[in-house]
Amino acid sequence: MRERLALTFLILLRVAIGWHFTFEALEKHRSIQIGETVTNRPWTSEGYFREGPGPMAQWVRAIIGDTDELLIERLTPRESAAGPPRDRMPARLEREWNDYLDRFVQHYGVDRSRAEAVLDREKDDFVDWLTQKPGTIGWFLAGRWLNWDAPVFKRKYLPDGSYEVRLSVAERVAEYREKLAEYRSLGDRNFALGKDVEKSRRPQLRAEVVSLRQELQGLLDQRTERMKRRLQESLLSKEELAARGPLPALPKHWFIRFLDESTRWGLLVIGVCLMFGLFSRTAAFAGAVFLILTVLTYPSLPWYPVPPNSEGNCLFISKNVIELIALLMLACIPSGRWFGLDALIDVIFRRNRQNDEQE
């Protein structure tokens, strides 16, 4: 009786994990089919890997680019030049804006010289916005005092106070760079016997880095949207814009597309195989490998940040680790032969072997 109960619960464990994997895959497919709406954002693994502190996330970022480094590159002006302000345009951001101009001209069929003139004005204004400090002579001469949407920066002081500071965006970027370097300098050198001796400093620094990143990324997104809007307003009528439709968005990095596709379809195949007991041991092992990669992206270590969409608190052993151990156990036992399609396949192959022996 106890053996039958044990077999029953092992089968239920396999089916439950299979249902979990299948439902996760279907939700990811569903979010992509619906597309971008007010209440829905298409699923992608990019944010998970960009924020993950583990070795797997670091390896992915080495391929797709580090979020913080990319933002700093987009907001770091080039060395001063004798020409117009656009000569100091950050190199990476200039390439991105020029690429957008190429796609814009090709999609809408507008005059390229007129489009380049609009973009040059936007580049000049962007560099002034980036480098001019409020209240300085250069800020007044550049006409920045007429812009009521100038960013207001604040610094915090304990416990919950803050005060405004007059900084250029470039100076704010320098603060961001210094804070990021300080956070990264902690590394793993402050750990003693698995205990972070600067446990309180690490999450505080990370929160400051994330806050600065979100602030600067939001400002950059506003300026980029303004550039796109100026191109449309200067070169297109409402009728032309409606006739051609919006400019298609750039595809994600090829490696992120590969990870997204393999994750969605891999979860679906593993989940269905586990639920129906088809190649159950192989499916269990594949599921365990997937969870190993997940754990390596966001390890459950006390000095690491909590992963997004997490439930509760954990120390070393997260829900992913528990499910990983369960899948490794299922990979060692033929549960699909007890109840599943593996039993049918086994019967078919057994009959074929018997017929061959009889012949």
pLDDT at 191: 46
Q: What's the CA angle centered on 79, arms 135 and 127, to 5 degrees?
A: 45
Please give the Cα distance from 352 to 346 (Å, whole number): 10
pLDDT at 247: 86
Print pLDDT tens along the chain (359 aa).
Answer: 788 888 899 999 999 999 999 999 999 999 999 887 878 888 899 888 888 888 998 899 999 989 999 999 999 999 876 778 889 999 999 999 999 999 999 999 989 999 999 999 999 989 988 988 776 666 566 566 566 566 777 777 666 667 677 788 888 999 999 999 988 887 644 444 445 555 567 777 888 888 899 999 999 999 999 999 999 999 988 888 888 888 888 888 899 999 999 999 999 999 999 999 999 999 999 999 999 999 999 887 766 666 666 655 667 788 889 999 999 999 999 988 888 888 888 888 777 666 655 55
Q: pTM of the full predicted structure?
A: 0.78
pLDDT at 313: 62
pLDDT at 293: 93
pLDDT at 190: 47
Q: Which of 82, 185, 76, 83 is nearest to 131 (CA)?
A: 76
Burial 131-152 (b: 16+ CB within 10 A, else e): bbebeeeebeebebeeeeeeee
- CA 106 from chain centre, in angstroms, equals 29
